[in-house]
Amino acid sequence: MPYLLAFIAALVALYVLVWLTVAAVMWFLIPALLIVLPIGLLAGVFWGCTVPLLTLTGLRGWQPRTITAQDVKQGTSNLPKLRQGSPFGRDPAWPSYLVAQSRVDLREMWRRTLRTLGVGWGKCRKLGDQWDNPVGWAVLVIVLGPTWLMVSVGALGATAMILLLCLSALLAMITGWLLVAGLLRGGDHLVRWLRRASGSCQSCYYVSSLPAFPCARCGEMHRDIRPGLLGAVWRRCICGALLPTTVLRAAFQLQTSCPNCLEPLRAGAAVHRDVRLPVFGPVSAGKTRLVYAGLLALRDQAAAAGASVDFTDEQSKRAFEHGVEIISTGSDTAKTPAGQLPTAITAQVTVARRKALLHLFDAAGEFYIDRGDNSELLFLDHAQGLVFVVDPFSIPWVQDQLGGRGQVMLARANAAVDDPEQVYHVTAGRLRDYGVQTSNQRLAIAVVKADLLVDLPPAQDLRPDRVREWLQEAGLDNLVLAAERDFAEVRYFVVASVHSARAGSPMSPANPFAWLMARAGLQLLPGEPDPTKQTEEAA
């Protein structure tokens, strides 16, 4: 009986306990949760908005890592790798916010939200450890856990929404940025392509359509100034200086430099059409004199036609002035130092509103005698045409014709010793060895020293329209044959490298250059000089 009574009492007690528990849940816990959970959710949303704001503004020291120009230089900027695998890496400039820093900022916003929520979960766990009793765990599991879960859901949802909207805005900005950069880059490329612009180094002879630009403030070299990841319209150098992005704009504001040897290029390089004409021939053939007299005649010819030939750099100006003095006074030309690579004489030719750079390369004749000596003459590889200088006094047939006056005339003409045919073959062989397509190039063969030869018996049949036949008659038929086989077009000129040979005359020293320039798209006169036509008119 007592057992039965005890059992009934226990049942009643259990019932009361259950009743009290359910009453507590229904009267206190559920209403409390109904109030706390939405508030937690709203607090989470507020926190999810606040964290990105604090991250972007950098308050509380939450600023994301800044991707600087130093990072770009060191390759730690997360920018995509260069396609061509440049050995120099990216230029030392700040990257556009849209391509590097924006990703860091968005990532940091998300990470920071996760981190702060993680701190909250960590505190919950710590409280659970401290309240090492069933009631504490119940409070933790039933109240604190769900509340912080709602905070987390609200915060993550709000941050995700913010990131999504920021990403959309960034994508819109990237589209605009791509459009501007693409237009600028395309326009820059198109203009330079239409002009056939390139920058050739007067020192190392390297030719590139993309020159390097040193920063005007710190001197750091920018090897690819074009609009791109480092800026669409402007780029900021590592030193903080603002630089223009297109080659056309940069060339007017900064010093243009050779990307190979970093030497300063001539003004207008890579912006204007670039015409490179090497002059080759034996020692004492008259190459240097032809260059001086040719430039002088070209200047006069240009002035007469309303165009201009100017020398913008000091080196070329000095060389030209020296040449003018020699040609005007009729004094002898100094021997070009053997073994010394030539620096180009550059003239800026302006026809109407179009500008071009004309580079003339005059190396010592010793370079052309032996195949082993001319490997460094890289300017031969990038030329649009070549001028081959033939000294008539070096031809045995001419020497024979001179008879008794021969020695006197040879001394007066300072005749070349080496065989012109050998010099031609050495040079043509070099071009072929270096992969130059001579079949696409033009060659002007200039028989010089015509002023000395003109009244002598060998020159009886030497007329501007019969130079080819005269060379064949003089025994250089193999040279003529080889030249016409090797080159796309060969034109023959007879030239007097003296001041009296007026510009535009059939024996003007400007003629070989003017013809090659016209063939390279730089027409100095409305009609290119045609010795044949001019002789007929003179006759």
Partner 1 sequence: MTTPGPRHPTISYLVHRGVLIGIVLTITLSTGFLVLSAAADLQLWVISAIQAARDEWTSWNWSLW
Residue numbers at the binding site for partner 1 (CB under 8 A): 19, 22-23, 26-27, 30-31, 34-35, 38, 42, 45-46, 49-50, 52-53, 56-57, 66, 68-70, 92, 94, 96-98, 101-102, 105, 158, 161-162, 165-166, 169-170, 173, 217-220, 236-240
Q: Which is nearer to partner 1, 161 or 538 (CB)?
A: 161
The count of residues in the chain is 539
Q: Which is nearer to partner 1, 73 or 499 (CB)?
A: 73
Q: How far is the CB of 165 from partner 1 (least distance, A)?
A: 6
Q: What is the distance between the alpha carbons of residues 258 and 211, in angstroms, rounded to a whole number?
A: 6
Is residue 301 within 8 A of residue 503, CB to CB? The reply is: yes
Q: Which is nearer to partner 1, 18 or 304 (CB)?
A: 18
Q: How far is the CB of 173 from partner 1 (least distance, A)?
A: 7
* Three-state DSSP class for residue 349: strand
Q: Which is nearer to partner 1, 31 or 457 (CB)?
A: 31
Q: Extract the tokens encoding 534.
A: 């001019």
Q: What is the distance between the alpha carbons of residues 264 and 310, in angstroms, rounded to a whole number?
A: 18
Q: Extract the tokens encoding 496.
A: 């007097």
Q: How far is CA 472 from CA 397, 403, 462, 508, in A?
A: 11, 20, 11, 22
Name the residue among 438, 446, 89 with its Cα closest to residue 286. 446
Consecutive H or E run containing 493: strand 489-494
Q: Which is nearer to partner 1, 42 or 324 (CB)?
A: 42
Write the DSSP symbol of residue 313.
Answer: S
Q: Extract the tokens encoding 19.
A: 């009743």
Q: Which is nearer to partner 1, 162 or 307 (CB)?
A: 162
* Three-state DSSP class for residue 207: strand
Q: Extract the tokens encoding 344.
A: 């180009």
Q: How far is the CB of 112 from partner 1 (least distance, A)?
A: 13
Q: Which is nearer to partner 1, 170 or 305 (CB)?
A: 170
Q: How far is the CB of 216 from partner 1 (least distance, A)?
A: 12
Instruction: For 301-315, give one letter per residue: b (16+ CB within 10 A) or e.
Output: bbeeeebebebebee
Q: Extract the tokens encoding 281.
A: 């021939």
**Partners of 447 in the β-ladder:** 390, 494
Q: Which is nearer to partner 1, 113 or 508 (CB)?
A: 113
Q: How far is the CB of 89 from partner 1 (least distance, A)?
A: 14
Determine phi and psi for 168, rounding to 5 degrees: -65, -45
**Partners of 200 in the β-ladder:** 207
Q: What is the distance between the alpha carbons of residues 315 and 90, in angstroms, rounded to a whole number?
A: 33
Q: Which is nearer to partner 1, 58 or 396 (CB)?
A: 58
Q: Which is nearer to partner 1, 11 or 161 (CB)?
A: 161
Q: How far is the CB of 357 from partner 1 (least distance, A)?
A: 28
Q: How far is the CB of 152 from partner 1 (least distance, A)?
A: 17
Q: Which is nearer to partner 1, 79 or 398 (CB)?
A: 79
Write the DSSP symbol of residue 197.
Answer: B
Q: How far is the CB of 229 from partner 1 (least distance, A)?
A: 13
Q: What is the distance between the alpha carbons of residues 330 and 501, in angstroms, rounded to a whole number?
A: 12
Q: What is the DSSP string of 158-184?
A: HHHHHHHHHHHHHHHHHHHHHHHHHHH
CB atoms near residue 503 (< 10 Å): 23
Q: How far is the CB of 226 from partner 1 (least distance, A)?
A: 18
Q: How far is the CB of 492 from partner 1 (least distance, A)?
A: 52
Q: How far is the CB of 108 from partner 1 (least distance, A)?
A: 11
Q: How far is the CB of 169 from partner 1 (least distance, A)?
A: 6
Q: Extract the tokens encoding 60.
A: 């509380």
Q: Which is nearer to partner 1, 177 or 206 (CB)?
A: 177
Q: How far is the CB of 110 from partner 1 (least distance, A)?
A: 13
Q: Which is nearer to partner 1, 70 or 253 (CB)?
A: 70
Residues 6+ apart with CB under 8 A from 99: 79, 174, 229
Q: What is the distance between the alpha carbons of residues 442 and 425, in angstroms, rounded to a whole number?
A: 16
Is residue 369 within 8 A of residue 285, CB to CB? The reply is: no
